[in-house]
Structure 1
Amino acid sequence: ALRGEKNAIFEMRKNYSGYFKGLRDFKPFRLQLVSTTNQTEIQDTFKKIIDFYC
């Protein structure tokens, strides 16, 4: 069953730290990812992560 965007965001929060484990200076990004409540902010944070690490 589909759960909706908000529930999907809450479900994904618990996985973010495992996906990025071992990256230096990742804490500010992780805190942003686990505190945001909409998809646009998450996508913006992913863009910042890519810019920072690539």
Structure 2
Amino acid sequence: MRLVGPRLPGRDEWIFDVKTREFLGERTVATEAWSGGVKKGQVTSNTAVLDRAVVDKPGRRP
């Protein structure tokens, strides 16, 4: 899934597992060159889900 903000020179891409459709992470890709040397198409940030857990109440940590 790709999300593009009207004022942001980048797009957010959500990454899902093809078979399970489980959310795996996200990344931001520059849609145009930025000052400071960022080139169009360059990944500027990313995240990954490393672990999942179920808890019995909101706010609890596994």
* Structure with more helix by fraction: 1
For the pair shown, the structure with the greater C-alpha radius of gyration is 2
TM normalised by structure 1 equals 0.23
TM normalised by structure 2 equals 0.21
